[in-house]
């Protein structure tokens, strides 16, 4: 199998726009750490703290939508909250928020609780039940209320999302990928002076013990109905984990590994760029800022072991089933040079399948 370079450039440009648009650029908490008091913000490029403190009785190691999740406590918002490290600054622009809530194991019937907010941003907040109505969730503050019916259904986990489209002047609510409510808005300004809290609001109590939260995502733009539907039940970072490593300064080697391959990927390209001016993963082409060599890789021929153009069916010791190893001295001429790498995977029909994280390395 070989992707033809004629036409492939246009195809990949379109696909890169789709792939980048579906990945959070502000917050992405997966809460997959088995324990501890910090969780990674995996968004690209991300805002706030890249390692967010988990305070009070909140705990990692719970059951999430994919892997682990955040175990809720019902504690006061002054003590039990995830500190994003980001002063709320959505302004009057577009945004998207999405998360999984599971209160099926909470003892109380129709429990009330906040699950994110910032009182300094004109009381911007979200909560279950109460003014939302039994079994529902609501977002309110400097915008007209938007209620998602069934968002707090205790029959099982629910994935809720809100999209504010500033250009269209609407805020939409989604339950499990399906549009449920649309509210006209007149340019709400969501700006605060304090950090946004997750799993809490101001001093008020969060959702009770026995509940879980997972897949907290925030985008600085409006996802479309189709993008919400495509991503609500998909983990965005479980597949295609790219890692680059060197043994140490002056050795000039390189090990490239690609693990947790997408089960539907058949073929792949490893693109690179020497332009690292933007934060890691923030470029327009699958997270890269493309340069000449980025496009040149489209013409690289496939052969077993070629890390730049490969088949996932190639057996060990070939890449990607085994790491690609450049021996000592191979990379010495690149000492001090920084590069970004990303793997883009195609399915058996040659269509876009998935991509890896962007991995940045400065050669030693």
Say if residue 260's pLDDT is above 70.
yes
pLDDT in tens, 60-69: 988 899 888 9
- The DSSP-derived string for 171-231 is EEEEETTEEEEEEE-----EEEEEEEEES-BTTB-BSPTT-EEEEEEEESSPPPHHHHHHH
| Boundaries of every domain in the chain | 5-15+237-362, 24-231
| pLDDT above 90: percentage of residues in the chain | 68
pLDDT at residue 3, rounded to an integer: 46
Average pLDDT score over residue span 15-28: 70
pLDDT at residue 10, rounded to an integer: 52
Contacts of range 330-335, beta carbons closer than 8 Å, 24 or more positions apart: 330/252, 330/253, 330/254, 331/246, 331/252, 331/253, 331/254, 331/363, 332/250, 332/252, 334/363, 335/250, 335/252, 335/363, 335/364
- The DSSP-derived string for 238-265 is SS-EEEEE-SSTTT--EEEEEES--TT-
* Residues sharing a CB contact under 8 Å with residue 244, sequence separation 6 or more, in sequence order: 254, 255, 256, 341, 359, 361
Average pLDDT score over residue span 219-233: 92
| pLDDT above 70: percentage of residues in the chain | 94
State CA 63 to chain mean position distance.
Answer: 18
- Class for the domain spanning 24-231: mainly beta
Query: Sign (positive/negative) of CA torsion 232, 233, 237, 239?
Result: negative
- What average pLDDT does the chain have? 90
Shared fold status for 5-15+237-362 and 24-231: no
pTM here is 0.69
pLDDT in tens, 304-329: 999 999 999 999 999 999 999 999 99
- Class for the domain spanning 5-15+237-362: mainly beta
pLDDT in tens, 115-139: 999 999 999 999 999 999 999 999 9
């Amino acid at each position: 199998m070989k992707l033809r370079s004629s036409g492939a450039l246009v195809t990949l440009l379109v696909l890169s726009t789709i792939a980048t648009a579906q990945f959070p650029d502000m917050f992405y908490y997966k809460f997959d750490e088995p324990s501890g008091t910090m969780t990674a913000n995996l968004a690209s490029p991300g805002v706030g703290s890249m390692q967010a403190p988990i305070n009070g009785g909140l705990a990692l190691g719970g059951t999430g939508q994919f892997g682990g999740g955040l175990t809720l406590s019902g504690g006061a918002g002054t003590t039990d909250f995830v500190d994003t490290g980001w002063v709320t600054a959505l302004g009057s622009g577009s945004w998207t928020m999405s998360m999984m809530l599971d209160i099926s194991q909470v003892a109380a019937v129709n429990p009330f609780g906040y699950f994110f907010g910032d009182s300094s941003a004109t009381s911007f907040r979200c909560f279950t039940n109460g003014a939302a109505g039994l079994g529902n969730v609501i977002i309110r503050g400097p915008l007209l209320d938007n209620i998602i019916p069934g968002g707090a259904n205790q029959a099982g986990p629910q994935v809720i999302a809100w999209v504010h489209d500033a250009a269209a002047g609407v805020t939409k609510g989604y339950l499990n990928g399906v549009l449920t409510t649309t509210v006209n808005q007149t340019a709400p300004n969501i700006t605060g002076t304090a950090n946004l809290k997750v799993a809490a609001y101001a001093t008020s109590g969060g959702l009770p013990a026995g509940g879980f939260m997972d897949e907290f995502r925030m985008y600085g733009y409006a996802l479309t109905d189709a993008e919400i539907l495509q991503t609500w039940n998909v983990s965005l970072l479980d597949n295609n984990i790219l890692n680059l490593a060197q043994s140490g300064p002056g050795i000039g080697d390189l090990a490239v590994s690609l693990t947790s391959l997408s089960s539907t990927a058949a073929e792949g390209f490893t693109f690179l760029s020497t332009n690292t001016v933007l934060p890691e993963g923030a470029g327009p082409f699958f997270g890269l800022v493309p340069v000449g060599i980025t496009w040149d890789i489209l013409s690289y021929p496939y052969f077993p072991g070629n890390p730049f153009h490969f088949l996932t069916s190639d057996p060990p010791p070939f890449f990607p089933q085994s790491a690609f190893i450049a021996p000592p001295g191979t990379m010495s001429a690149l000492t001090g040079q920084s590069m970004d790498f990303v793997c883009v995977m195609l399915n058996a029909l040659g269509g876009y399948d998935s991509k890896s994280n962007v991995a940045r390395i400065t050669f030693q």
